[in-house]
Amino acid sequence: MGERISPGLIQTLLTRLEHLALALEKASIAEYIELYRKPRRLLYLNFLAGIARGFGLAIGFTVVGAFFLYGLGKLASWNLPVVGEFIAEITRIVQNELARRH
């Protein structure tokens, strides 16, 4: 128990402690802890994030769907037999569904 700690070891420990403190500060650990202390704020932020994800999904699906329909229309304009039959089948299905619901 009478062992002395060398000054080099103390300096190394202090340097590592400073690096750890900087890493924790960069990781915003204090903000995460504050969110867990205030559950209402956490719920509010998660709610907003969910709305943003849903909105992004809707916009993305709309854009991809528009490109798909545009490409399908271009294929239909070429009067290819297989594509024409496919589009005609889709049209029949849609018309049957609309007629059944009204």
> Residue 65 domain-assigned?
yes
What pTM value is reported for the model? 0.48
51-88 per-position pLDDT tens digit = 999 999 999 999 999 998 888 778 777 777 777 788 78
Percent of the chain with pLDDT over 90: 38
Domain extent for 72: 8-76
> Residue 3 domain-assigned?
no
> Residue 66 domain-assigned?
yes
Looking at residue 85, its amino acid is: E
> Residue 38 domain-assigned?
yes
If you ran DSSP here, which 8-state letter would residue 28 be given? T
Domain count within the chain? 1
Q: CB within 8 A of 50, min separation 6: which ones?
A: none
User: CA–CA separation, 66 vs 36, rounded Å?
Assistant: 42
> Residue 83 domain-assigned?
no
* 3 has pLDDT over 80: no
**Position 1 confidence tier, pLDDT thresholds 50, 70, 90:** low
> Residue 17 domain-assigned?
yes
Is 83 in contact with 75 (CB distance < 8 Å)? yes
The whole-number pLDDT of residue 2 equals 57
